[in-house]
Amino acid sequence: MKLSTKTSLLIVALGAVLFVPLSSIMVHFQERALRKSAYDAVDGVARDSTVLVAQFAENAQQNVNLLAATIPVQALRLKRLDALQDQIRNVFNVEKFENEIAILDQRGSILLTYPPHPEANGASLGDREYFRRTLATRRGVMSLPYVSVRTGRPVITFTAPVMDPEGAILGVVACSNDLLAPDVLGWIPKQQVGRTGYVYMFDQTRRMILHPDPGRILQWDIPQGKNKVLDEAINGFEGTGETVNSRGVPMLLSLRRVPGTDWILGAQIPQAEAFEAIASFRRLMLVSTVLSVLFILGVGVWMVRYAARPLNHLHLAARAITRELQGERLDWDVLPLLRSIRARDEAGSLARTFVDLVERQRQSMGLLQRAASEWERTFDAVKEAILCLDLDGKVLRMNRMAALWFRTAPEAAVGMAGRTLVLGEDAPAAYWPEAGQLDARHVQGWHGTLPRREGKFEFQALPVLQEGAVTGMILSVRDITVQAQKEEDALKRGFFDALTGLPNRALLLDRLQQALAAAARSGAGVGVLFLDLDHFKEVNDSFGHDAGDALLVGAAERLGALVRKNDTVARLGGDEFVMVISELADPGDAARVAAKVVEAFARPFPVAGQDLKVGASIGIALAPGDATDGATLLKHADMAMYQAKREGRCGYRCYS
């Protein structure tokens, strides 16, 4: 049997035994990957949505707590409704509560609402579950979702008690939010998972809170036993699973609990849509596998038969080369016979190898000369300074760029010490590698400057090896001034305020954390001064934003002149500044700094030919007494600053 026939039969057998099982294995693993991707996609939507819902609930409760903290206690005790009305109007315009704010007395009667609804004044909410829970727990609560009597829409109410200094509850602040508002939770029913999937939310009582179908909102329409995955979620399950919904449609479902609530958020998509990529992949792999097997087998058989043809020619050529090597004179040239074997396989490769052996000997000298000339042009065309040094660091040669940078002709540099040529005679001590100490596997690199050229440069040293031994090194010098400047500019944009040049919030938090860590080691204190310019809006309105920007720059300069080098002045945005006073030996030093700031800001600011007068309201928080972490210190200082504004501005208050 011929070799070509044997090889053809072997290819057929291998194609049947190996290719089909391998394709099946590949399909199996790919299906697993696609299924996991579908699970991860649905679960990712559920996780992200749960985080957003939890953040909404937390932020809403914090806003109500802050509102309650700003209610004038004396005005509430005396039921001075005009003062209370002004306070909640200001807060409402800032916080934009979606429905309304109401202030209740100790019995739950409505004292006033905003936006005003006089018809509701005097109505009693004392029987509402959220009012009773607020009195019982003495803290703010989130109500169960309910339908607003006034608007007829689903709402949720957040409460916070208003207490006098002795801790007695004088009243309750209740802020309601429209559940379907875009800034509340109205985005949940509109969110899509894939093309037809959706997101919804329910609680442990099987009450649907939000759903794309408006008719199901706030309805107890999750029957027990109809959906096993939903039943398991109510009992504590979190994760992704496959189920059948109430309409009998197989669904891929992910359920996650919303932290701090009894809400459960679900994201689901029909399994037919979620796994359609798997079905498409199966069909594709089936067709491609069949076509590939047929193609590979047909081409393989043809190539084996084709490859066998030049073997006879190669055999004759090999015998002729052997006779020629033995000194026998032939009456024909072997090269045309070898060139006639043009097969692109081992036979053709062997034929070309013999041809190359003959031709290379004739062409070797010409190739060497051309290579040397091309290397020389490349060496001089490189935009980096390159020096070839011997084992003692002496210059063997250098390129044209090196001659330009170091102001020395290439022929004059030969034999000079490379360190002296590059760094100069009086160069200070700097890193300079010895050729014998270089690692052949790694390039040694460092950054530095040149004595006769401005900028920043990158140095790289690579050893030269001959038969495994280091005989010298190649030194390259690259100008990275522009790159370094871009990196420095990027760093400034990321950590400094563009207008004033002061540290921004990110750098402030880092320096505050460092100051707290140093204070913890030394036993000293840290002071945080939260400063807000008084009447800054009037400056912008009267003189324009350019004047306002100039005023902010002047304020930053005055603040910088009042602190030490190890203290920090930062701008948070707008007209808000923060000062971090580190290593406080006496807590009273922070108040003294605040007094200096108030005094400095009492002087007018010369801006655009005008003397502009603004004051400063300052809140002070101290570590470790008021807090031991940066975020809480900033929050407490902010609260103290607002207290200073409420008590007349142009002053400072310490957090209490």
Mean pLDDT of 495-514: 90
Mean pLDDT to the nearest integer, 603-627? 90
As a dihedral over the C-alpha atoms of residue 247, residue 250, residue 252, residue 256, rounded to 10 degrees, the angle is 40
**Tens-place pLDDT, residues 311-334:** 666 667 667 767 766 667 766 676
Task: Tell me the CATH number of domain 1-62+186-308, given options 3.30.1330.20, 2.40.340.10, 3.30.450.20, 3.80.10.10.
Answer: 3.30.450.20
- pLDDT, residue 25, reads 84
Give the residue, 454 or 219, on which the prediction is more confident: 219
Q: Tokens 């010369």: give the residue.
A: 606
Q: How much is the mean pLDDT over the chain?
A: 84
Give first-to-last CA distance, the chain, whole Å.
101
- Residue 298: what pLDDT? 75
Cα separation of 560 and 567, whole Å? 9
Q: Report the distance separating Cα 330 and Cα 325, nearest Å.
A: 11
**pLDDT average, residue stretch 160-184:** 92
Are 475 and 386 a contacting pair, CB within 8 Å? Answer: yes
Task: Please give the average per-residue pLDDT across 85-105, as a whole number.
Answer: 77
Query: Residue 201: its pLDDT value, please?
Result: 95
Report helix, strand or coil for 116.
Answer: coil
Q: Which CATH architecture has domain 71-178?
A: 2-Layer Sandwich (3.30)
Is the separation of the CB atoms in 406 and 424 below 8 Å? no
Residue 161, phi then psi, degrees to nearest 5: -75, 150
Q: Which residue has the higher pLDDT, 483 or 567?
A: 567
pLDDT attached to residue 608: 79
The dotted CATH code for 382-483 is: 3.30.450.20
CATH node for 496-654: 3.30.70.270
The answer to whether the CB of 197 falls within 8 A of the CB of 269 is yes
365: confidence class by pLDDT, cuts 50, 70, 90: very low
- How many Å separate Cα 583 from the centre of its chain? 34
pLDDT above 70: residue 2 = no
Mean local confidence (pLDDT), 443-461: 81
Indicate whether 305 pLDDT > 70: no
> Which pLDDT belongs to residue 510?
92
Q: Angle, nearest 10°, between helix axes 545-560 and 588-602?
A: 140
What is residue 222's predicted lDDT score, i.e. its pLDDT? 86
For the segment 122-147, the average pLDDT, to the nearest whole number, is 93
227-236, 240-249, 417-426: which has the minimum mean pLDDT? 417-426
Hey, is 485 helix, strand or coil?
helix
User: What pLDDT, on the 0 to 100 scale, is given for residue 622?
Assistant: 94
HSE-CB of 617 using CA atoms within 13 angstroms: 20
Q: What pLDDT is recorded for position 318?
A: 66
β pairing state of 615-623 and 652-654: parallel
Rg (CA), the chain: 41
Token pair, residue 304, equals 């084996």
Average confidence (pLDDT) over 186-195: 92
Mean per-residue pLDDT, 580-594: 91
Name the residue ranges covered by the structural domains of the chain.
1-62+186-308, 71-178, 311-376, 382-483, 496-654
Task: Give the rounded percent of residues in the chain with a pLDDT score beyond 90.
Answer: 38
501/510 Cα distance (integer angstroms)? 17
pLDDT of residue 294: 78
Does residue 3 register a pLDDT over 60? no
**Contact residues for 651 (Cβ-Cβ < 8 A; gap 6+):** 598, 617, 618, 644
For residue 582, pLDDT over 50 is answered with yes
Q: What is the pLDDT of residue 556?
A: 93
- Pseudo-torsion of CA 150, 152, 154, 158, nearest 10°? 0
CA distance 578 to 530: 5
Is residue 546 exposed (0-12), middle (13-18) or buried (19+ Cβ within 10 Å)?
exposed
- Please confirm whether the linkage preceding 115 is cis (ω < 30° from 0): yes
For residue 198, the model assigns a pLDDT of 93
Query: pLDDT-derived band of residue 362, with 50, 70 and 90 as boundaries?
Result: very low
In the predicted model, is pLDDT for residue 359 greater than 90? no
Q: Do 1-62+186-308 and 71-178 come out as alike in CATH topology?
A: yes
pLDDT at 378: 78
**In this prediction, what percent of the chain has a pLDDT beyond 70?**
86
Judge whether residue 485 has pLDDT over 70.
Answer: yes
pLDDT tier, 490 (very low <50, low <70, confident <90, very high otherwise): low
CA atoms within 13 A on the CB side of 225: 0
Q: With 80 as the cut, is the pLDDT of residue 167 above it? A: yes
How does residue 257 score in pLDDT terms, banded at 50, 70 and 90? very high
